Structure 1
Amino acid sequence: MNEQKTSPLEEHAGRLRTRMGGAFVGQRAVFRGHDLHADLGDMDWLALYVFGITGQRYTPAQLKVLHAIWVHTSYPDARIWNNRVAALAGSARSSGTLAVAAALAVSEAEIYGRGIDIRAASFIQRAQQVIASGSGLDDCVREELQRHRAIAGYGRPIAAGDERIGPMLRLVEREGLAGGAHVQAALAVEKHLQEGRWRLRMNYAALTAALTSDMGFTPRQHYQYGFPAFLAGMQPCYIEASEKPAGTLLPLACDNVTYEGAAPRAWGA
């Protein structure tokens, strides 16, 4: 006699199976198997955030570097594409929550935003494995270029260098984390690209991917960790635009628009 199979929808109907946690309202909350208030209540917020992503605890030095990764890319400049969204929302008198939510959403830009994180981390981890095996980087680099016509984490569309690299490397050195295998692999790739015909320099995406890879992050975990990286720079842009007259953020005069349509004409009666 054939047993009737239960569909996945039927298996999950009326219940939520989770290993992440739950809220027992009026009693307690569980976060990855720990009592949030009794066990994790004095935890640093970023430590809790990455614990939620990876399920791992990190040293004070690692947490300092993870904090610094966010701090060093918090630019309160409304001309930057995602900050401009937050500022435009302020100029349009939208709410702060909607402004920042929209700005974070467009932060996934593939060329210069968070959309490149998984590729950057995947490449750095492959490069490190190649180096560990004793092989040269040339084939690894050429295969990546052939597949994507670019190497995630190297080169920068708006400038030749990256002003965040030097300060971050100095901080990482002070915290004793500069010798990690993935950081060294990222630097070796840059050296290979500089000595070859590509002349590409490492950008922030490669360095941050290397740092989290040395902490054991997977490429997807690195991407999830990086989600709020631009957040601190967004709020000042929203606030300042909200304080100015509505609609005055980066206005564009009609004379600055190239128009090739119909000539000015009067409306008919």
Structure 2
Amino acid sequence: MPPDTGELALQRRTRAHYEAYPFEFLTPGDEASIERMQPPPFIRFISRYAAPGMSVAELGCGPGRGTMYLGQNCLDVTALDLSRSSLELARSRAPQARYVEASNLALPFPDASFDLVISDGVIHHTPDAYRSFCENVRVLKPGGYYYLGVYNRNRYYYYLYTFLGAPLRQVEQFRLGQAAIYMTVFPVYYAAHLLKSRGKRTLRGARNFFYDYIMTPRASFHGRDEIEGWASRNRLDLVDYDPSLGNVHVFTLRKRLGNPGPL
């Protein structure tokens, strides 16, 4: 069934948003030691389940933070994103990967194409997180592992995005509103990032975090029970669960052998 016009419009806004504000914050020092820029659950996932030569789909690669690390582990990486500018940044950092510009809701890959599928902070930015989840699972081989990082409904970020972010996103549609946000709200956000990073966060990095977390056109939030229900309907087994990242919780799921698709 084709997406409706509302969904297509949301995808266009999301693409335009990340064309203007890719989730880009790496410094040259970060790129030189890319492993330390990875979330600990992601490092653990790669160390446990990845082996050189495995086919990996990174679905929503952004500017290539994870792509660089996957390439360093000698994996056969296909990186996909909705944003062309993000793909160009990723390609400049990890030229050995293959890059595809496409939507998570309609992946241009056959069923059971990849040994590993990675979706780190992506499906919650799509118009339909569950459909995106199902598409991710569709391209995973039976017996393969799926790394899913998704916004946690039971953390403070839900309230920040929903109640503080909504009026800011309305105001930001106007030029005067954009100026007001830069002069009032953003300096506070930048100061918080400087403190958290001990002075290492650049202005550009803080701006892109702000636009990803607060101003993004779409963010959905999902509890553990909901994700486990999705996994059960798609014949996946939960292998590991990690809530340690705070606003994002991480699921490692294994696709059952002989998986015929959703129940």
TM-score, L = length of structure 1: 0.28
Greater gyration radius? 1
The structure whose residues are more often strand, as a share, is: 2
Q: Which has the higher contact order (CA 8 A, sep 6+)?
A: 1
The structure whose residues are more often helix, as a share, is: 1
